[in-house]
Amino acid sequence: MRKNEGMSEREPSAPANRYPAAAEWQAVDKYFTETLVGEDPTLVAARGSGAATTMPNAEVAANQGAFLGLLVKIAGAKRVLEFGTLAGYSTIWLARSVGESGHVVTLELEPQNAAVAQENFRAAGVAERVETIVGPATESAAQLINDGVEPFDFVFIDADKPSNPAYLAAALELTRSGAVIVIDNVVRNGAVVDGDSSDPRVQGVRSVADAIAANPDLDATALQTVGEKGWDGLIVARRR
């Protein structure tokens, strides 16, 4: 069987997960998700619909979605920009957290994924506050910059990893002081520490970390996580 960096052995046909996840990690996520988080039937269905996208099982775990939603609320964010929609699972958490008066713009390369997501937004009752823009996210973001849209308060970067530095640069054009920027999948089953990695996804994470470190306007940290989604992590940054 072919073995890629961090990929579960069920790759590539129908990965139950994109990284190996110990049974204990999964059990703890399940416990906290059942105890504290709860996924309503709409979210459960949105998770299931990931199978109809180009990247099954790449959505965040339920407790991670809840974490993103809490960050949005803690930040008091009303305008959210997301790079990478897929089935819209995280988008629903973000959209519910901005409330009825909030707005989420989500950028998705694949029309097939955007169609799946839009169905999920309707079912979740958030379609009116979510704008999905289909196309290469760097181009969509450049258009938003060109249009001079109102600044975003919160950005979630969760699309193709080699473009992380470009997405950060766009996020900085589209936000102001106090904005929060979160980047998914920055640990990649531990591969992030290999500076010589030939994997462009690993280099995309390392480059964006370097860019954040070099930017005096950003306070940031990173947390590695284990759970249902394996060993991975998030960068959280805030604009001064």
Write out the two tokens for 26.
């999964």
Of 8 and 185, the one with the shorter C-beta distance to Mg ion is 185
The separation between CA 56 and the C-alpha centre of its own chain, rounded to angstroms, equals 14
Footprint of ligand DHB on 40-59 (CB under 6 A): 58
Indicate whether 85 belongs to the interface with ligand DHB (CB under 6 A): no
Q: Tell me which amino acid residue 105 is.
A: V
Choice from 11, 158, 160, 228 touching Mg ion (CB under 5 A): 158
Instruction: Point out which span in 102-110, 115-123, 151-159, 211-219 binds Mg ion (CB under 5 A).
Output: 151-159
Footprint of Mg ion on 168-187 (CB under 5 A): 184-185
State the alpha helices, DSSP H only, in the chain.
23-32, 41-49, 62-75, 89-98, 111-124, 137-147, 164-173, 200-213
Footprint of ligand DHB on 100-159 (CB under 6 A): 158
Footprint of ligand DHB on 180-239 (CB under 6 A): 184-185
Of 78 and 91, the one with the shorter C-beta distance to Mg ion is 91
DSSP bridge partners of 210:
none
Q: Could you tell me the maximum CA-CA distance found in the chain, to the nearest angstrom?
A: 50
Sign of the torsion formed by the C-alpha atoms of 45, 59, 134 and 95:
positive
For helices 41-49 and 89-98, angle between their N-to-C axes, nearest 10 degrees: 150
Indicate whether 29 belongs to the interface with ligand DHB (CB under 6 A): no
Nearest distance in Å: CB 229, Mg ion: 8
Of 81 and 239, the one with the shorter C-beta distance to ligand DHB is 81
Q: Applying CB under 6 A, which residues contact ligand DHB? A: 18, 58, 158, 184-185
